[in-house]
Amino acid sequence: MWPPVTIPPPAGASLLRGVLPGEVAWSEAFDDPQDVVTFPAEEAAISRAVPRRRREYQTVRHCAREALASLGLPPVPILSGEKREPLWPEGIVGSMTHCQGYRGAVVAAGNRVRSLGIDAEPHEPLPAGVLEQVATDQEHGELVRLADSVPGVHWDRLLFCAKEATYKAWFPLTGAWLGFSDANITIDPVDGCFASTLLVEGPVVDGERLRRMHGRWVVRHGLALTAIAVVARLGEA
Strands in 89-222 per DSSP E: 92-99, 102-109, 113-122, 183-188, 193-198, 204-205, 208-209, 212-220
Q: Does residue 149 register a pLDDT over 70? A: yes
Q: What is the mean pLDDT of residues 210-232?
A: 97
Q: Could you read off the pLDDT of 78-126 as tens digits, one per residue?
A: 999 999 999 999 999 999 999 999 999 999 999 999 999 999 999 999 9
Half-sphere exposure of 163 (CA within 13 A, CB side): 22
Q: DSSP state, 75? A: P
Torsion over CA: 108, 114, 120, 123 (sign) = negative
Q: Does residue 236 register a pLDDT over 50? A: no
Q: Does residue 146 register a pLDDT over 70? A: yes
Question: 77, exposed or middle or buried, with CB in 10 Å at 0-12, 13-18, 19+?
Answer: middle
Report, in angstroms and rounded to the nearest whole number, the Rg of the chain calculated over CA atoms.
18
Q: Does residue 16 register a pLDDT over 70? A: yes
Q: Could you read off the pLDDT of 21-59 as tens digits, one per residue?
A: 999 999 999 999 988 989 999 999 999 999 999 999 999
Run of H or E residues at 225: strand 223-231
Q: DSSP state, 182? A: G
What was the pLDDT predicted at 160? 98
CATH code: domain 25-109 is 3.90.470.20
Phi/psi at 46 (5° precision): -120, 20
Q: Give the confidence band of 134 by pLDDT, cuts at 50, 70, 90.
A: very high
What was the pLDDT predicted at 7? 58
Q: DSSP state, 35? A: T
Residue 12's region, left for phi above 0, alpha for psi from -120 to 50, else beta, is left
Listed in order, the ranges of the chain carrying CATH 3.90.470.20 are 25-109
Alpha helices by DSSP H, the chain: 40-45, 51-70, 130-134, 137-149, 155-174
Q: What is the mean pLDDT of residues 161-175?
A: 98
* Fold classification of 119-231 (topology level): Ribosomal Protein L22; Chain A (3.90.470)
C-alpha span between 229 and 60 (Å, rounded): 19
Q: What is the mean pLDDT of residues 182-193?
A: 97
Q: Give the confidence band of 2 by pLDDT, cuts at 50, 70, 90.
A: very low
pLDDT averaged over the chain? 93
